[in-house]
Amino acid sequence: MKKLLGIVVLCLLFFNACSDQKLSKLEKQYIEDLHEWIKSGERNKQAIRNTVQKTCSKLTMLMATKKENASFVANKNLDEYDFRAGFCMSAVIENVWPNQPGFTKKFKKQACKEKIPLIKLVCKEFI
């Protein structure tokens, strides 16, 4: 019985480790997609919606905790979702069109102090 329990625990740890690797790989893919958009020269509204907005939205959901995801899906915490996705979009777009309204040095410095994994990643990659 102890052997079986040990095998089950090892399997759970293995599957958890695999899912973490996929998550990390997906995060990297989304960040790469955003960097590619910056380099691409596609500046029309459709490209911004299809690439920057969708990718930042996916990244926001991907990097949220299970509890946060549930609250976002249930429309109970939309202000936080909007802040995170909007911050991501602004940071990416700032690389193409600097000095966006409201996206000041002071705001960026303050936001980048947040402990939220998405915000930390966006600050590291795009600010």
Give residue 40's pLDDT band: very low, low, confident or very high (50, 70, 90). very high
| Tokens 């958890």 sit on residue | 16
Residue ranges covered by each domain of the chain: 24-126
Give residue 34's pLDDT band: very low, low, confident or very high (50, 70, 90). very high
- Which two structure tokens, joined as six digits, stand for 43? 């500046």
- 81/124 Cα distance (integer angstroms): 20
- Which two structure tokens, joined as six digits, stand for 58? 């996916």
| Tokens 């980048």 sit on residue | 112
Give residue 16's pLDDT band: very low, low, confident or very high (50, 70, 90). very low
Instruction: Give the three-state DSSP class for 115.
Output: coil
If you average pLDDT over residues 58-76, what whole number do you get? Answer: 95
DSSP H stretches of helix in the chain? 2-40, 45-47, 54-63, 66-73, 78-94, 105-111, 117-126
User: Tell me: the pLDDT tens digits for 86-100?
Assistant: 999 999 999 999 988
pLDDT score of 21 more than 90: no
pLDDT score of 111 more than 50: yes
